[in-house]
Structure 1
Amino acid sequence: MLMYPHIDPVALQLGPLAIHWYGLTYLAAFGLFMFLGMRRLRHPPYASMTGDRAWTRKDVEDILFLGVMGVVVGGRLGYCLFYKPGYYLSHPLEIFYIWQGGMSFHGGMLGVIVAMAWYARSRRRPWLQVTDFIAPCVPTGLAAGRVGNFINGELWGRFADPALPWGMVFPQSGSMLPRHPSQIYQFLMEGLLLFVLLWLYARRGRKLGEVSAAFLVGYGVFRFIAEYFREPDAFLGILSLGMSMGQWLCVPMIVAGVAMWAWAQRQGPAVPRTA
């Protein structure tokens, strides 16, 4: 049984300016996206596009900027609507109190989808071509976020068998019983494992929508599994059919991914071949 190593959430204090570890993990996520996005330009079909259809570094930078906006706005609104709609309906101004915490991955994903739809329309690119581009670059950012969760000592897991070698006590949970370090589980599954699988899968030319579909199914399945080890939000608990809110939000992701996959099988290559 392990004891959670208390880590000061403030990485660096410069007078009144406090730099938090969680903020640094976000910066790491954005940096990793830029790094991987530049290498994604070498993958088909993006490497073979020329002229007005060519993908460049500026595309990666613009997608990153819009993606950050989508994550922040969508993540916050998603948390307010999915997890505490009644509270924020009564306290609407607190929706803007982002320093109090409260972000939802599923809301952030919806925000990114809207942002990428706007980007695709403004650049006259197929929307799924854009989502296929970014999908393999996302999991490392998710992994960085889970590191931030662990450093903050939040989103701990459910109670674990005391014999579990990596069971961890999180004193801030109000209990000294060992729990699953679910942040680490999610770091490994939704982050590293999903990244490796998607990156290898996307390196070869795929039909339009296939990579996006693989991300939806992969993340949905891994998150659904991880939720069995993660402590549900105290104000929600376990919902119908013994599932958590996180699991219920994963169900439409998986269904949408399977439907998109079936649709993609009837399509041609991601882009027409050029001479």
Structure 2
Amino acid sequence: MLHHPAIDPIALQLGPLAIRWYGLMYLLGFAAAWWLGRRRVNAPGSGWRVDELGDLIFYGALGAVVGGRLGYTLFYQPAYYLSHPLAIVQAWQGGMSFHGGLLGVLVACWLYGRKTGRGFFAVTDFVAPLVPTGLLAGRLGNFINGELWGRVTDVPWGMVFQGAGELPRHPSQLYQAGLEGALLFVIVWVYSARPRPTMAVSGVFLLSYGALRFIGEFARQPDAFIGFVAFDWLTMGQLLSLPMLAAGVVLLALVRRRGSGGS
């Protein structure tokens, strides 16, 4: 049995300014997206310029943060935030939703596409391989904070988390970092390394993330204020992943139909 190292969530204190590990993980994720984006821009036949990348990352970062926060307030605790609207902007208190962040990024991609004259899926196909490293960094931030722990377990690597009782739990943050971060990155990056039809990379991302998130949720403890949303096993994270699975299947079916000459 292991014990969570109880890392101080504040990485650096500069007078009244507290720099938190979770915020640094977000910066690390955006920096990784920039670096990977440079590699995609420089790939032969990319059709993208380096000077476009900065604006795209800015749009995406803004969409991820705003969408992630609004998504959390709407999907997870709408009643609380409706009665405490000022708390919505207090993101430093915790509470970000990937699914909300994804919607925010999609809106950002649409706005960027309108500004530059690029098609929506041309933008999302470029962005999709840049996302998993940010998810990896975010899950590591969850682990450092000792939040979003897993269900009670008797596996040898079960971990006792402060505030979660005395029983060992799955370190589900690390599981999800490996699934939604590392494995998803390998799948989407390798798939996008060759020229693909429009919508194909976006479809693979949506289908892969939806499946990996659905699997990872089986080890994660449901949020106490929600619990299971159906069947005594379906979590909110799994429920929100189902539309992603469906959208991924639809996009890949459209790509295949178009490739086979269907009208």
Question: What TM-score, normalized by structure 2, do the two folds share?
Answer: 0.95
What SS is found at the alignment partner of 1:237? coil
Alignment of 1:146-185 (within 5 A): 146-161=139-154, 164-173=155-164, 175-185=165-175
On the 8 A contact 1:208/1:267 being kept in 2, the answer is: no
On the 8 A contact 1:207/1:265 being kept in 2, the answer is: no
On the 8 A contact 1:168/1:178 being kept in 2, the answer is: yes
On the 8 A contact 2:6/2:162 being kept in 1, the answer is: no
Is 1:234 aligned with 2:231? no
What is the RMSD of the two structures over their aligned residues, measured on CA atoms?
Answer: 1.2
Is 1:92 aligned with 2:89? no
Aligned residue in 2 for 1:119? 112
Aligned residue in 2 for 1:39? 39
Please state how far the C-alpha of 1:171 moved relative to its aligned partner: 2.3
C-alpha distance in 2 between matches for 1:94 and 1:21: 21
C-alpha distance in 1 between matches for 2:194 and 2:7: 42
Aligned residue in 2 for 1:209? 199
Aligned residue in 2 for 1:267? 258
Number of residue pairs the alignment of both structures matches: 258
Counterpart code for 1:117: W
On the 8 A contact 2:151/2:221 being kept in 1, the answer is: yes
C-alpha distance in 2 between matches for 1:91 and 1:26: 26
On the 8 A contact 2:71/2:96 being kept in 1, the answer is: yes
Per-residue CA shift, 1:10-50, capped at 9, x if unaligned?
A: 1112222221111111111011000000111244xxx326x
C-alpha distance in 2 between matches for 1:11 and 1:88: 28
C-alpha distance in 2 between matches for 1:185 and 1:4: 15
Is 1:110 aligned with 2:103? yes
Aligned residue in 1 for 2:45? 48
C-alpha distance in 2 between matches for 1:205 and 1:19: 41
Counterpart code for 1:214: V
Please state how far the C-alpha of 1:85 moved relative to its aligned partner: 1.4
Aligned residue in 1 for 2:70? 77
Per-residue CA shift, 1:124-182, capped at 9, x if unaligned?
A: 01110110001111101100001110000000000012xx1211111221x11110000
Question: What TM-score, normalized by structure 1, do the two folds share?
Answer: 0.91
What SS is found at the alignment partner of 1:265? helix
C-alpha distance in 2 between matches for 1:2 and 1:90: 39
Aligned residue in 1 for 2:243? 252
Bigger Cα displacement from structure 2, 230-239 vs 90-99: 90-99
C-alpha distance in 1 between matches for 2:228 and 2:152: 15
C-alpha distance in 1 between matches for 2:199 and 2:255: 6
Please state how far the C-alpha of 1:227 moved relative to its aligned partner: 0.5
C-alpha distance in 2 between matches for 1:27 and 1:244: 29
Per-residue CA shift, 1:83-139, capped at 9, x if unaligned?
A: 111222222232222222211100000000001001011100111011000111110
Counterpart code for 1:113: L
What SS is found at the alignment partner of 1:180? coil
Structure 1: any 5+ residue segments left out of the alignment?
269-275
Structure 2: any 5+ residue segments left out of the alignment?
none
